[in-house]
Amino acid sequence: MDGSGPDRLRGKRSPQDPSVYTFVEDSERVSCVVYVDDLCFSFPPDSKLMKKIDRQLRKKLKVGKATSLFEKGEKYLGVEVTRLKDGGVSLNQTEKIEQLYKDYSEYFDPDLMISDPKVPIAKKRVAEEIRKSGIRTKPKTPVSASRKFDPEDDGPFTDEEKKLMEKIPYRSLLQRICQLWTRPDVGYLTHMASRFQVSPSFTLFIDLLRCVLYLKETKDLRLEYHKSNDGVELRGLSDASWATDMVGSRSLTGGLIQFCGNTIAVLVKKP
C-alpha cells in the first residue's frame, strides 16, 4: 500500500489475498484484514505484539479507538460477531436483513401500490405481476426447487417490459442480497439472477422479492465456526448437475471448502 498502513509495520502480505497481512514476532502471530479504511485484527489474549502494532498505528496513522468485536453491539462491515461457548464464533447480519425488508416493503403490498396515484407506472406494472404470481408470505426456500431460469419463459417479452424494468431497482436489490455473505443459502439465486442484469424481467425481480421474504423469515440464521481439537484439516467437496443450464445446455458445478470442519467458501460455477 505504497509504504503506508500495515506495510510500514513490516507485515507480510498474503500472496493469495492481498488484503490479508500477517505479523510474526518471537512466537506470537497476529493477522490483519484490510477493507478500504477498516482494519480487523486477530490475535491471542494479552498479545504483546498486538499492543506494539496498536502503538505504531496510533503513532503513524490517524486511527479511531479499537474495540473488540465481541463487545455487545459491535459490528464489522455490518456483521455482528458473537463468541460461542466452545471458543468459536458466530456471524450474523440480522440488522441488514431487517433493513433490506424495510427498504423494499412497499412491493409486498401490491394492492396498495396499484391504487396509489402517486406510484409510478413501472412500479404499478410490477405490482400487478406480483399479485398474479401470488408469492408466498413465508417461503421456506430462497428460490423454488423447480425454478429453471429459462430466458424463453422468464422474459422480458416486450419492449414495454424492457423499458419499465429500467426504472425498477433490480440491480440494486440483487447487490443488497449479494452483500449478505453470511447467508450462503441464497448463493444459487444470486448466481443465476446475476446473469440477467443486462435485461432483467418482472419474473426475475419477483424471484428477488421472494428471496427477501425468505430472508426476513430466517433473519436469525447465522454462520458458526467452531473450535476444532482434531488438528488442521482442509477438505473440498463438489458436485455437478447435468445440462440443467437453460442457456447453452451446460452443467452447473457446486462446491464448498471446509477448514477444520468449518465451511469457509461456497461456489456455484458454470464451466
Amino acid identity, position 254: G
Q: Identify which has the larger pLDDT, 93 or 154.
A: 93
34, β-bridge pairs: 39
C-alpha to C-alpha distance for 219 and 217, rounded to whole angstroms: 6
pLDDT value at residue 2? 44
Question: Which helix (DSSP H) or strand (DSSP E) does residue 31 occupy?
Answer: strand 28-35
C-alpha to C-alpha distance for 203 and 241, rounded to whole angstroms: 24
**H helix intervals, the chain:** 48-60, 94-103, 110-115, 121-133, 151-154, 159-165, 170-178, 187-194, 202-217
pLDDT digits (tens, 9 = 90+) for 159-170: 999 999 999 999
> What is the residue-averaged pLDDT of the chain?
86
- pTM assigned to the model: 0.82
pLDDT value at residue 268? 75
pLDDT digits (tens, 9 = 90+) for 72-86: 667 888 888 888 888
Amino acid identity, position 147: R
Q: Which residues have C-beta within 8 Å of that of residue 178, sequence separation ≥ 6?
A: 190, 194
If one counts every other C-beta atom within 10 angstroms of the C-beta of residue 211, the result is 26
pLDDT above 70 as % of the chain: 92
24, β-bridge pairs: 29
Q: Per mean pLDDT, which of 2-11, 71-80, 249-258 is the most reliable?
A: 249-258
Residue 89 backbone dihedrals phi, psi, to 5 degrees: -130, 155
The DSSP 8-state label assigned to residue 30 in this structure reads E
271, β-bridge pairs: none
Taking Cα atoms as reference points, which of 255, 258, 260 lies closest to residue 270?
A: 255
